[in-house]
Structure 1
Amino acid sequence: METYKLPSVKLYEYFTQKNVNTDSYDETCDMLKRRFPGLSDIYDLCRKLLFNVETSFNEEEEEKFQNYRCTYLHYWLNDKVINTFNLYDDGLYLGILLNLYRTWNKFVNTLTSAKFRCKPDMITYISRNINVFKFKEMYDYFYNYEEFNRNTSYNPNECNEICEYLTDIIANFESFKTECSRNRNKCLQINNFFELYDPQNLIDKFKCNAEKLCMTAPVAVKADESPPEQGKSLSIPVKENVNDFLTTQPTIITYHNVMSFVIVPLGLVIIFFTLYKYEFFEKIDKNYIYNAVKSLNYSETEDLSAENSFINCDIQLMGEKEKRVCRKLNSLISTLCSNNSQSPKNYIFSNHDIEYLKFWVNFEIKNEGLIGNGDIEDLSGIIKEQMSECCSKDTMKNILIFIDPQDLNRMKILNNLYKNYNEMHEIIFSTSSEGIQKCLEYSKQCVTEYNGAIKQYRNVNDYFYNALKNFENYYKKLYADALGKNKHFEKYIEKIPRQYQISELSFYSIEYERNKIIFISLLGSVFVFIVVLIYIYMVKKIITL
């Protein structure tokens, strides 16, 4: 007797059993094989994945069916990674999966003629906020429920298998329901999932007894017996082969339902974030941060001891470039922590510090020629469980977040500006004036960078434009403060040309205000001197009388 297979099992077999009859993916997957020399099966899995990405999506079908199938391709890959390599280590699991996702992402972008592209979703399917395995189990259950309810012909053996499956799933269903009630991010995006897909509904329908056996052949629920929004889904005809299973319509929550619920608060969050996403350059302790970063460039980065490190950089799956960034991050955090070891604060890093460190990691990864999102996820997946008092695990997670490339390029400009500004500030207000000659060098770099930014963004009146304007004000104020300390410093600070100035505050108004203050001070001194002379004259006159 043939063993009964759950509909979800047949679905995954569809992806697994595809015969890869092309060598188009050999070069791409061979690179992955070289990266994981101890995992020979990764080559075949990679080829199977890319073949499915290219061939499993029918351009004739509606986009909602394509999205549905793409969701299950993610779960198929998760399942294959775990079972193919017998993984019990989260770090190894994440490392393999992330590399496959990055290979997938590169490949799908080459499919220029495809109308639908199934792209890897690294955020949803590799997340510390959800249990991917529980999500897979519930999505599989959802798919199986639809098929159980739709099919009208089961033999006794199949019916018993279904009863056993439904009875066993109850505990996990209730556990998932509890987690969802506490955090909506941990819910499936399916309308009324817990009400409409309660296993007890089918247990009653199949008349499963205490021994998990089917007491009677079930009758499919008619379309008009189901809730209105489910009627169409349940009236779809029975599928006869594995390929047909892939076109089953999901009862997934619609785009418009989601957007109507989140658009307003999400819009406010985006506006708030955009307003302040460049502000941290102004707010950080520049001397503290930039000196720590500078120390990395003048010293050899060494591996910290296991108890002092924040990320495990020795993981076998890491390339040399990733390890280099990892070690530098460990060293930077360690330096910042040791510099503040006497701090009375309960936490070391402010939100502005964290934002800067997030920029720094993204910049270093890009500088090494790495992809960005995947590599940051790699680092995020190997944060140590036990952290030092200085830097919590949550802090490190907030640092290891991907930044959009356009924002990163803008932040790089601001970083160069404030880095040179900080060098100038240190020289101007040092106790010695021996290094004042260097101030002009940093000043010229500042003005050149600023002029280039204004040329590019003068006509883009956005929040980055305002960030540039704020820097201009900082620079002009530094100029005024420098002249206030020593008027001879003027020749060591280059002015921003008038055609590139966007701030209402000008160097000339600063000079005018400074000269006015000096004039008033001198005038006051003269007035006091005259009053004193008059007083002396009057005293002498009184004495002579």
Structure 2
Amino acid sequence: MLEQVFWEGLSKYFIERDLELTSYTFYQNLDNNVEDLKKYYKECDEFSRSKYKIKGICAQVLKYLENSAKKSDKVNYEYDDCLLFNYWIYGRIYEKHGDNPESAIAFGKLQGLWNSLIDNPLNKSYNDKCKPDTLMVMQVDWRKRKELYDYFVNYNMLQSMRHYFSTRCNEIYTYLKEKDKLYKEYKEYCSSPKHKNCPDFFTKFEDKDPTILLKKLDCYEEMQKKEALHSKTVEKHATADKEGLPKDSQTAREGTNPVTNSGNVLLGVVVTSMTSGALYKVHLIRIQVEKNITLGTTKHNVFI
């Protein structure tokens, strides 16, 4: 199962790369923009001996702030690049510390410096720039939210792409099909009055339903037929396997064995935790793959 999760994650990454989607390009520019970071190390000096090891990440924040537009100049932007940047920064910290409390603590300490810079009107390089997202560390589903927001950011590009990228129709379909599951999950979640932690951006982009775009694709009917055929084939094999089992084995397979059920519950918990880690390993590998492709053998020890 973990192997399947890994390869599915890697496959999604290559689709995003091949289509050169907006969010992918944004993150790639950040991953590869590692020049002249040392000029920001002085302001990040408090993290030099920190156990959280985020001096390089701090420098990335300062460089981005200095070179980005002021909030007052981005009123009519199609998407919130600041939210994308926050997801990217927290992702870098998460790569270092995982689900440990250190991830939230490190991001909190970085936010202290970050806020002091953007709130100072005398600091022309940073004032009125991107603010840190203080709620992100409290969202256990932050990676899913990131993936959903990435999709919303990519929507307009995908909509125009379907007209002139007919050779990539299958890839666009695969991408949208995956996001459709995520969209439906949050649409159901946000429609319930008891859920008050719906992503702020969902209401704004709720009309960007992947199903609508999917049905407009030239390859939609063809891909639907392929999926139906695949489902029948899988079901046929599953039935054949079941018919070939002794009665006791069938009982165990169907989950009537209480010992097996208990084991499955425990396994589910373990696999859920492992899957979370596996997905982020995909992210780490894809960063390394891109560095090898775009930067040759040059090594950048950025995140120190």
TM-score range relative to shorter protein: 0.5 to 0.7
Residue 145 of structure 1 aligns with which residue? Answer: 155
Residue 40 of structure 2 aligns with which residue? Answer: 25
Helix, strand or coil: the match of 2:81? helix
RMSD (Å), alpha carbons = 3.0
* Counterpart selection for 2:186 from 167, 173, 176: 176
Matches within 5 A, 1:190-339: 190-191=202-203, 193-194=205-206, 196-206=207-217, 207-208=219-220, 209-210=223-224, 211=226
Contact 2:86 2:132 in 1 (8 A): yes
Matches within 5 A, 1:28-427: 28-36=43-51, 39=53, 42-57=54-69, 61-65=73-77, 68-83=80-95, 85=96, 87-110=97-120, 112-113=123-124, 116-122=128-134, 124-128=135-139, 131-151=141-161, 152-154=163-165, 156=167, 158-182=168-192, 183-191=195-203, 193-194=205-206, 196-206=207-217, 207-208=219-220, 209-210=223-224, 211=226
1:371-428 CA-partner distances (Å, limit 9, x unpaired): xxxxxxxxxxxxxxxxxxxxxxxxxxxxxxxxxxxxxxxxxxxxxxxxxxxxxxxxxx
Contact 1:105 1:120 in 2 (8 A): yes
In the alignment, structure 2 segments of 5+ residues that lack a partner are: 1-13, 228-304
Matches within 5 A, 1:436-447: none
Contact 2:37 2:59 in 1 (8 A): no
Contact 1:29 1:43 in 2 (8 A): yes
Residue 240 of structure 1 aligns with which residue? Answer: none
1:134-170 CA-partner distances (Å, limit 9, x unpaired): 22121111111122113342251x3322211111122
* TM-score normalised to structure 2 length: 0.57
Residue 262 of structure 2 aligns with which residue? Answer: none
1:190 Cα deviation from its structure 2 partner: 4.8
More relative contact order, 1 or 2 (CA 8 Å, 6+ apart): 2
Contact 1:101 1:120 in 2 (8 A): yes
Q: Which amino acid is 1:10 matched to?
A: T
Contact 1:20 1:51 in 2 (8 A): no
For the residues of structure 1 that align with 2:108 and 2:160, how far apart are their CA atoms?
37
Distance 1:143 1:22, change over 3 A: closer
For the residues of structure 1 that align with 2:212 and 2:113, how far apart are their CA atoms?
42
Q: Which amino acid is 1:27 matched to?
A: K
In the alignment, structure 1 segments of 5+ residues that lack a partner are: 213-545
Residue 279 of structure 2 aligns with which residue? Answer: none
- From the CA coordinates, give the structure whose radius of gyration is larger: 1
Q: Which amino acid is 1:108 matched to?
A: I
Quick one: percent identity of the two aligned structures? 24
Contact 1:134 1:176 in 2 (8 A): no
For the residues of structure 1 that align with 2:191 and 2:169, how far apart are their CA atoms?
32
1:201 Cα deviation from its structure 2 partner: 1.1
For the residues of structure 1 that align with 2:78 and 2:18, how far apart are their CA atoms?
30
For the residues of structure 1 that align with 2:67 and 2:49, how far apart are their CA atoms?
26
For the residues of structure 2 that align with 1:146 and 1:60, how far apart are their CA atoms?
23
1:71-90 CA-partner distances (Å, limit 9, x unpaired): 2211121222223x2x4324
For the residues of structure 2 that align with 1:140 and 1:172, how far apart are their CA atoms?
12
For the residues of structure 1 that align with 2:60 and 2:75, how far apart are their CA atoms?
23
Residue 232 of structure 2 aligns with which residue? Answer: none
Distance 1:167 1:102, change over 3 A: same
Contact 1:169 1:199 in 2 (8 A): yes
Helix, strand or coil: the match of 2:69? coil
Distance 1:22 1:184, change over 3 A: closer
Distance 1:29 1:191, change over 3 A: same
Kindly tell me the number of residue pairs found equivalent between the two proteins.
Answer: 203
For the residues of structure 2 that align with 1:192 and 1:48, how far apart are their CA atoms?
29
For the residues of structure 2 that align with 1:170 and 1:162, how far apart are their CA atoms?
12
